[in-house]
Amino acid sequence: MRVALLGVGRLGAFHAKVLRERSEVSELRLYDADAARGASVAKELGAIHATSIDAALEGADAAVIVTPTGTHAPLIHRCLDARLAVFCEKPIALDLDTTKAVVEHVARVNGRVQIGFQRRFDAGVREARRLVQGGALGTVYSFQMTSRDATPPPDAYVETSGGQFVDQLIHDFDVTRWLFADEVDELYATGSTLGFPQYAQFHDVATSAAVLRLRGGAVGLLGAARHNEAGYDVRVEVYGAKDTIAIGLDPRAPLRSVEKDAPKFKSPAYPSFFVRFGEAYRAELAHFLRFARGEAENVCTVVDGMEALRLALAARTSLEEHRPVGLYEIA
């Protein structure tokens, strides 16, 4: 397969390395708006440096989009017009109308677009989903999700990210729908700029929480933070009538118990999402290549991307208006 990868920043360069290791990728073309960076990564990996988007896409079989969020939708439209299979990192766009236009385009041309929510490919998340949906936990009453970055991103990134709900907690919103095969009926969100007062000028927060009620009745609590020097921390706990399970509670989880006989964690702690979800990213791209060849179903569609965004926008509305928000309001 000939694959065009657009954007070789931190995550794009990681994806490029993964794709270069795949035997089914016969040709990998890399484009970046920063030509020097694109050329450097291409040279390092033995890939082809494309000097324009057109050069990257011409004759390609599939495209992987890892560019800034504001460019995602236009590039997806461009790839669909070229009849390419597309992998695009989340989110599709920062607003619902732009996202809907992509969803409509995909439906109109029967396009192939997989959205990048790598947690769906994490082994722990997949096992938890099997247990939940197989009934091993009995009735699921509630769940908790934690998402904490080890170090905060640059302010320039925060300013254009869409905010903590759209940029960070959108992963948890997506996993909620996928893990429980249910939709959120209503949510309430709050947040604080404690430690990061500059976020106020971006109408954003550094620490946040959202309480969700699913249509089936389960209640969830999602918490996020931009700064956690103990390490990169993504965990889930699911409480059912028959059993309670945890995702991400492993020897590298960045927490410690004060109980004398408790197991030891942080050995060492996860430093970043690349380390915590490295295998999930690899599995995600491997699946995309199968999907692009028509050998697998799409497990993360543009509709999934749109629904996760609706939840993020509902959380933002709740934060701004200090009230619970029903998902029917975000249409």
Structure tokens at 312: 């993020």
Question: Residue 213 pairs with which residues in a beta bridge?
Answer: 186, 219
Mapped onto helix, strand or coil, the DSSP state of residue 191 is strand
What is residue 267's predicted lDDT score, i.e. its pLDDT?
A: 87
Question: Residue 188 pairs with which residues in a beta bridge?
Answer: 211
Which domains does the chain possess?
2-117+282-301 (3.40.50.720), 120-276+308-329 (3.30.360.10)
CB 145 within 8 A of CB 214: no
CB 308 within 8 A of CB 173: yes
Per-residue pLDDT of the chain (331 residues; tens, 9 = 90+): 999 999 999 999 999 999 999 999 999 999 999 999 999 999 999 999 999 999 999 999 999 999 999 999 999 999 999 999 999 999 999 999 999 999 999 999 999 999 999 999 999 999 999 999 999 999 999 999 999 999 999 999 999 999 999 999 999 999 999 999 999 999 999 999 999 999 999 999 999 999 999 999 999 999 999 999 999 999 999 999 999 999 999 999 999 999 999 998 988 999 999 999 999 999 999 999 999 999 999 999 999 999 999 999 999 999 999 999 999 999 9
Amino acid type, 41: V
- On the question of a cis peptide bond just before residue 154, with omega within 30 degrees of 0, the verdict is no
Q: pTM to 2 decimals? A: 0.96
Going across the sheet that includes 207-214, the strands are 244-247, 233-240, 140-148, 219-225, 207-214, 184-192, 325-326
Other C-beta atoms within 10 Å of 60: how many? 22
What is residue 292's predicted lDDT score, i.e. its pLDDT?
A: 98
What is residue 206's predicted lDDT score, i.e. its pLDDT?
A: 98
CB 65 within 8 A of CB 86: yes
Please state, in angstroms and rounded to a whole number, the distance separating the CA atoms of residues 15 and 287: 13
What is residue 194's predicted lDDT score, i.e. its pLDDT?
A: 98
Hunting for tokens 């309670």 — which residue is that? 244
Structure tokens at 102: 């992509």
What is residue 144's predicted lDDT score, i.e. its pLDDT?
A: 98
Please state, in angstroms and rounded to a whole number, the distance separating the CA atoms of residues 33 and 203: 28
Please state, in angstroms and rounded to a whole number, the distance separating the CA atoms of residues 220 and 215: 12
Hunting for tokens 């439209």 — which residue is that? 77
Counting runs of H as helices and runs of E as strands, what totals does the chain give?
A: 12, 13
What is residue 72's predicted lDDT score, i.e. its pLDDT?
A: 98
